[in-house]
Amino acid sequence: MQSSYDTLKEIQTQPDAWAEAVQVASRQAVHMQQLWRSKDFNQVIFTGCGSTYYLSLTGAALLQQLTGFPARAVPGGELLLYPASAYPRNGETFLVAVSRSGITSETIQALRAFRQQGLGHSLVITNYPNSPLAELGDLVLGLPQGQEKSVAQTRSFASMCVAAIALSAILGQRQDLLEEMERLPENGQRLLADYSEVARVWGSDLTLDRFYFLGSGPRYGLACEVNLKMKEMTLTHSESFHFMEFRHGPKSMVTDTAAVVGLLSDSNRFHEQAVLQEMGALGGRLLSLGESEADVAFKSNLPEEIRDVLYLPVIQMIAYQRAIAKGLNPDRPKNLSAVVKLEL
């Protein structure tokens, strides 16, 4: 039975984990601001592996947007193998290390080397607050309600995404945004209820043989993440692109069996919608998500800066439904384990 899968339960219960993330960040707000002001940092680096690297892309883009401070994302393995390409020779780095389990080898070793070399201060975002990674951080945002049994991240990713959004609001001194984030869970619950049939129809359509996820700005990292969910859970050809980049070659792959999924913003909707319309003219099957006038309309009345997590639940459900339609086990994707542990 479909209801027996942990993935389904974890997708459906994620709004509770969002609420916890807002509460944890709010309680730690003063400590985060103190850590932020403790040094004259040159840059912020978000790091993680797999899903949490994609979360880092979103977190870094949003933090720079709200603070004006240089921020970027670097995979944990790259920090470990090529630290000189990430850290400046002079000045300190504010490192945000993200890991669902807190035991991902590359991220742990990268943070350990960061500490040993005195390169700056760190904040850890994880669903396991007593994990080895958490022990290495100067400050920890521990989110146990995001813990899950499934291999593919859904509830955990979303909970850490909310924490990263809250971090950006706090460091950007936007208390107004932090307060508005308390309304995210109710909107998430409504989206799951209102668009369950949309998710079933799209996920069950096996005439689709490829998915393209388009997102720009902070939403590019989310496009990468939902692309990964489609790969992991459904073993389907899937790719992610910035909206405008999709015209520069990748659109040659659009056919009438291709789904083109757009994560629309408010600020650049005109340009993003134009890309979708062009792909529709090429035969692509279009699905749009956004605050309004979209196939999946949030209707949240929340500021654009804090509602990125709302793009996740319906697409996660599409991936889940596609796995079921293909006779796959969404809890245990082929060739994968929940944690990558290496001898480093």
Tell me whether residue 278 is in a domain: yes
Tell me whether residue 339 is in a domain: no
Tell me whether residue 335 is in a domain: no
Number of domains in the chain: 2
Q: List all residues 6 or more positions away from 50 whose beta carbon is below 8 Å from its beta carbon.
A: 153, 228, 340
Quote the domain boundaries for residue 217: 185-325
The pLDDT tens digits of the residues spanning 189-222 come to 999 999 999 999 999 999 999 999 999 999 999 9
> Which one-letter amino acid corresponds to residue 151?
V
CATH of the domain at 283: 3.40.50.10490
Count CA within 13 A, CB hemisphere, residue 254: 24
| Residues in the chain, pLDDT under 50 | 1
Tell me whether residue 36 is in a domain: yes
- 236/167 same-domain check: no
- 129/236 same-domain check: no
The pLDDT tens digits of the residues spanning 316-342 come to 999 999 999 999 999 998 766 555 555
- 16/126 same-domain check: yes
pTM given for the model: 0.95
Domain end position, chosen among 150, 183, 216: 183
Sign of CA dihedral 272, 274, 277, 283: negative
- 233/291 same-domain check: yes
Give the pLDDT of residue 73: 98
- 153/268 same-domain check: no
Tell me whether residue 332 is in a domain: no
Give the pLDDT of residue 3: 60
Could you tell me the two tokens for 247? 């015209």
In the chain, the DSSP E strands lie at 41-48, 71-75, 92-99, 120-126, 139-142, 210-214, 237-241, 258-263, 285-290, 296-297
Give the pLDDT of residue 1: 41
Tell me whether residue 312 is in a domain: yes
Domain end position, chosen among 155, 183, 211: 183
- 34/178 same-domain check: yes
- 88/217 same-domain check: no
Which of 339, 5, 21 is closest to 178 using CA atoms?
21
- 177/194 same-domain check: no
- 61/196 same-domain check: no
- Residue 254 φ/ψ, nearest 5 degrees: -75, 125
Tell me whether residue 338 is in a domain: no
Domain end position, chosen among 152, 183, 214: 183
Tell me whether residue 344 is in a domain: no
Give the pLDDT of residue 40: 87
- 32/107 same-domain check: yes
- 149/178 same-domain check: yes
- 176/265 same-domain check: no
Give the pLDDT of residue 339: 55
